Amino acid sequence: MSFLSISNVVAGYGSGQDILKGISLDVEAGRTYCIIGPNGAGKSTLLKVISGLLTPREGSVHFDGEDITGLPTHRILRRGLCFVPQDQSLFPDMSVLENLRMGGFVLRDKGDVNRRIHEVYETFPILAEKASQPARALSGGQQQTLALGRTLVLRPKLIMLDEPSLGLAPKISRQIFESIAALREAGLTVLIVEQNAKLGLQAADWGVVLDLGKEHIVDSAANILDDPRVAELYLGGGLKSNGKDGTT
Ligand SMILES: Nc1ncnc2c1ncn2[C@@H]1O[C@H](COP(=O)(O)OP(=O)(O)O)[C@@H](O)[C@H]1O
Ligand SMILES: [Mg+2]
């Protein structure tokens, strides 16, 4: 079985209609996957199901050899699967270092937390430079890097990012994707949902096009970038830059 395996997942909210309509996806360890698709396709819903925030109506999620379907989020987190949601918010008045410590608040051994924070500084030296500054003093891209770093304190095996470039200027988005490339080099498995399809696919090994609650195309990121259907739908105009996807 693959590292993360999603089988025939059906999910929705409350008593509403199915949003995910039998989606399956196999994720290989150490690879980066970029999930693209139109607004409302169910991309965020899929990440919520994997991270335990939403229990699926049908189907299963296996991670690292275990069935994690419907487990509470904190137990999934402890197994090394971390989710950085779309509306990730920092503590603006707390320093960079204090924000990183918050990332490790579930860990009992505070010495261990400090060691892990130093590992994060090695991956993202900018955070060491700004350690004593309040989070609100950082640029948008640096704040996203801090949000990533805070999650890395938990030493995840797999990290999921929901639209990490949302609302950021193109130049800063590229910086975020450089940070994501660093995670990939560190051997992490990464799942990114990204509305800037081109930027996201360029950073990924594999691409997934999600549409109408199903996996529509799964292929190497390079093939998806070259796919004329995808180019027309997602790379041409609508999803090329920030600004169109402001609702979810
Ligand atoms: N908390 C919620 N309660 C009810 N419906 C929701 C909720 N979150 C999302 N939805 C609905 O689920 C569908 C898919 O949303 P979402 O997964 O956020 O799409 P995407 O991330 O691909 O834009 C949308 O129709 C949205 O309105
Ligand atoms: Mg979304």
Please give the full DSSP string across 193-227, using - where no structure is assigned.
E-SSHHHHHHT-SEEEEEETTEEEEEEEHHHHHH-
* Residue matched to tokens 């004329």: 228
Rounded to whole angstroms, how far apart are CA atoms 64 and 4?
6
Q: Calculate how far, in angstroms, residue 166's C-alpha sits from the geometric centre of ligand 2.
A: 10
> pLDDT confidence of 109, banded at 50, 70, 90?
confident
Compute the average pLDDT of residues 144-169. 90
Domain boundaries, the chain: 4-87+159-235
Structure tokens belonging to residue 50: 């994997």
Task: State in Å: Cα 44 to ligand 1 middle.
Answer: 7
Beta bridge partners of 189: 158
Most confident of 21-35, 93-107, 111-125, 177-191: 21-35
Ligand 1 within 6 A of CB of 13: yes
Confidence of residue 103 (pLDDT cuts 50, 70, 90): confident
CB of 39 closer than 6 angstroms to any ligand 1 atom: yes
- Residue 244 reports pLDDT greater than 50: no
CB 131 within 8 A of CB 114: no
Q: Is the domain defined by 4-87+159-235 classed in CATH 3.40.50.300? A: yes
- What is the spatial distance between Cα 3 and Cα 219, in angstroms, rounded to a whole number? 17
pTM of the model: 0.88
In ligand 1, the atom with minimum distance to the C-alpha of 213 is 14
Q: How far is the CA of 208 from the centre of ligand 1 (A)?
A: 18
